Structure 1
Amino acid sequence: MSDRTGHVGFDRMFANGRLTVGLFLPLWPYTGDMAALRGQSALVQEAERAGFAAAWVRDIPLADASFGDVGQVYDPWSALTWLAAHTSTITLASGSVIFSLRHPIDLAKQAASIDHLSGGRLVLGIASGDRPSEFPAYGVDFESRGRRFREAVHAFRDLLKPSASGVDLLPKPVHGHIPLLVTGSSQQAPDWIAEHADGWLVYPGSTTTAEGPIALGKKAATWRGRIPGAAFKPVATNEWIDLMEDPLHPPTPLRGGFVLRTGTQGLLELLGRWQDVGINHCALGVQHGSRPAGEVLAQLGEEVVPHFPALETAAPQASAW
């Protein structure tokens, strides 16, 4: 069975036995000055030219000081729309939209609109949410997030199908559907994720020892063993890196393992191990690094991405609205 789906965004990122590299936004953190965030989309354009497979945005509705992370600050749909207008081939991805907090009609309308404006390049990482402070602000019970997530997934897909009721949601996705990657467990059983997700977005575990990728590969293989019909469904992960100029700088965990300080050689070895054990995509984040993002992206584009480039696909649909 072919793992090519005809969805240009999905197929740029994923193929059986291959690993591609994406880029997590923001490229540098918000420190209280919105003007200081300017210039990131220009670097995404450079990443597209360098062969990165995807640009990822996050969904963090409210800044919670206890988490210390506000993402790219902008609403993910707005950020993705901006990127759709300023790029032409790179996949636009979310990591991850909180399906349990949003109405399915709004989710489907926004996603299908961005999919059209990007020519069919949208891939959604989705989650049930893990920040308890956001739920009462929406008037939603935190403990209901698993049920609400399942209901939203089913309703989202139904809304994107043609309707015979006389009341319909437009536009429909360019390729007939929008791939959904479930993040972590999202309060669901593994069998449910294996059946209903188009792929799995999973946390990497240890990245400084050979045992870490082996454990991640076993987790991916166990999940894939639950997929009905043994169909190919990709597994993606992410890593925050502090890339050193010295290519031989040894992999070193920072902030309790949340950030990996490494040279190019250590990063290539990690990505190669992940590819060998069945991981199909890694979204790299550089915002916690010690060097300017532009320098790091240039180094990644020259020394890393050519080993794990975006996959060949048909051209996205023209979308000069």
Structure 2
Amino acid sequence: MNRFKKLYKPGKMTLGVEFPLDNDWSSEGNLKRLEDNRPFGVPDISNHLVLAKQIDEAGFAALWMRDVPVYDPNFGDGAQLFDTLPYLGYLSAATKNILLGTAAIVLPLQQPIKLAKAAATIENLSNGRLLLGLGIGDRPVEFPMYNIDYQKRPEIFRNNLDIIKEAWKTNSNLKTKFDFLISAIEVYPKPKGHIPIIVAGHSGQSIDYIARNANAWFNYPRPVNETFENRKYWCNALYDNDQASKPYISAFHLNLLKDENAKFAPHRFGGAVGINNLTEIFKSYEDAGVNHMAINLRKSETPVKEAINQLKEVLLPKFNNQREEVV
């Protein structure tokens, strides 16, 4: 069964949640961080498994995580701390229905054969629930540590993606990618089904390349009017490259206020609002053409567990996000 349809329902917007599952950027969360003596951006992950299961059981479409190889205080973001691929394998055994997405793995820092094998392994073990989001990387400090030229990221991205796609094929021809090979080398396991490739941002590529080579485009959070224009830009690229309709994905940094009737106040990458006024905001993004929205709760004044319950009760029923049981 193609699990991608759980994320993409044309004309509707499905909902997901982003790691890390903390609210360190709220006033109370920041005080807790200081008490724990944690650097800014290094989350408290002690309750992540409980929260991941709660999100799965609530009926969200996808759970997203980022790939941050090293913690750079200048960026102040340690993502979910755990290494992306092993953690995805762990979550695939701990959850049942939710799609597991990366937003995004830094492709130029990956050995492509190893990534192809790891992704296919997770896809097999999760019963087809992997969404492989890929990005170019934006932290210059990481690339010298990997002995990779920062300026060559776009070229490396394209080459690595070509190798991964070839490695997944039955009777693959990796000799075309590695001219030193003298025999038909194969990489196992092969994916049981199709692993959706999702490109984050432009990743140093033209929009035409993304339209031809990706199954979806994950774009940075923007106000509704900018989102509408960007989604139109995506649709035009799909049309110009003779591609079928493909999802436009974005994210929203939600400060879910304790006052349930609080009006919406925008901030960078999202806004603050009470739960009773949130549906209207998300409907405006659905009307702008967003097919899937990943909710980030780091700013939420409502604790994460309670926020997930409120989203389940109030927001999920308003969107075409019905549970699909894995069989």
The question of a shared fold, defined as TM-score above 0.5 by the shorter chain, is answered with: yes
RMSD (CA atoms): 2.0
Given that 2:222 and 2:270 are in contact with CA atoms closer than 8 Å, whether structure 1 keeps it comes out as no
Counterpart secondary structure, 2:195: coil
Partner in structure 2 of residue 46 of structure 1: 54
State which of 4, 8, 14 in structure 1 corresponds to 2:8.
14
Instruction: List per-residue Cα deviations over 1:55-100 (Å, max 9, x = no partner).
Output: 1111000000000110000001121111101111100001101111
Partner in structure 2 of residue 278 of structure 1: 289
Instruction: List per-residue Cα deviations over 1:6-44 (Å, max 9, x = no partner).
Output: 421x11111210101101111115763999422212122
Partner in structure 2 of residue 209 of structure 1: none
Q: Is residue 233 of structure 2 the alignment partner of residue 215 of structure 1?
A: no
Counterpart secondary structure, 1:44: helix
The 5 Å alignment of 1:100-179 reads 100-163=108-171, 166-175=184-193, 177-179=194-196
Residue 38 of structure 2 aligns with an amino acid whose one-letter code is: G
Given that 1:95 and 1:126 are in contact with CA atoms closer than 8 Å, whether structure 2 keeps it comes out as yes
The 5 Å alignment of 1:1-321 reads 6-8=1-3, 10-28=4-22, 29=24, 32=38, 36-163=44-171, 166-175=184-193, 177-206=194-223, 213-227=224-238, 228-254=241-267, 257-311=268-322, 313=324, 315-316=325-326
Rate the CA distance shift 1:35–1:201 in 2: closer, same or farther, 3 A.
closer
Residue 94 of structure 1 aligns with an amino acid whose one-letter code is: T
Question: Which residues of structure 2 form unaligned runs of 5+?
Answer: 25-32, 173-182
In 1, distance between residues paired with 2:287 and 2:43? 42
Given that 1:53 and 1:90 are in contact with CA atoms closer than 8 Å, whether structure 2 keeps it comes out as yes
Report deviation, 1:174: 1.9
Question: Which residues of structure 1 form unaligned runs of 5+?
Answer: 1-5, 207-212
Given that 1:121 and 1:316 are in contact with CA atoms closer than 8 Å, whether structure 2 keeps it comes out as no
Alignment: residue pair count: 301
Q: TM-score, normalised by structure 2?
A: 0.87
In 1, distance between residues paired with 2:210 and 2:269? 26
What fraction of aligned residue pairs are identical, expressed as a percent? 33
Residue 103 of structure 2 aligns with an amino acid whose one-letter code is: G
Structure having the higher Rg: 2
